[in-house]
A and B are shown apart, each in its own frame.
Chain A
Amino acid sequence: MLVEHARHVLQISDAVHAEYGVPGVEVVTALGCSLDGVDVELAIRPGTLLAGLHGGARTLTERTTCNYGLNPAFQAEIDASGLAISATDDTTEARAVERGDHPFFLATLYQPQLASTPARPHPVFVGLVAALLGG
């Protein structure tokens, strides 16, 4: 979603994800330290879709398996161009992004599905299913 936004909204035609090893502008880069299989503390931006899904919570703990993330050099530009940073980790790097002009368009650089149970379905998935019913 970050690469798609960079290519088609920011018009960076050679935006790439570093994992693919192809030449281009690395909008998604390897993280400085691996977050594979660890729980991360996140700060949620008030007023966002993500905040609403979590009942207005300001912080969140989520399980991540990501070794790649948004290149910090693009964070401000991405945020200002319609893909808002809705959660950050303790290094202030983006861990979730979303569009405010769309019914439900959210990317997490953590894996909410790993925390979902029948008794406690994850709010991100509840929100997605509720949104698709309206489509």
Chain B
Amino acid sequence: MAPEALVLIDRHVAGRYADATVEALHHAAGHLGVDLAVREIPTAAVERSLLAAPQRGVVVGPGSPYENPEGVLGLIRDARERGVPLVGT
């Protein structure tokens, strides 16, 4: 599977920050010459199985309060415990 970055963000709250986050990932991938998939995930749709595939990374986006804060906390915990790269902004 292709490398993929998951962006946890509630677009209706985060507004322009959602676009800026997705674009920043593409800027980084372009700089590194990597074909990176970027998938935006509303917090209500967060599932722990999202981290099952290799070459996954997570951005916990700006724009709180989240619709599903407990789901976001669970995914952060999994990323911490399983060594999945994660940035929170």
Contacts and interface: CB of A to CB of B under 8 A. Distances in A.
A6 B38 CA distance: 29
B42 interface: no
Contact of A4 (B21, B54, B62, B80): B80
A108 B88 CA distance: 6
A54 interface: no
Interface residues of A, number: 40
Given A99-B80, A116-B23, A135-B54, A126 B85 contact: no
Interface of B: 3-5, 17, 20-21, 23-25, 27-32, 34, 36, 54-57, 59-60, 62, 64-65, 69, 73, 76-77, 79-80, 83-89
Nearest to A133: B3
Contact of B28 (A105, A108, A122): A122
A135 B53 CA distance: 9
Contacts of B54: 135
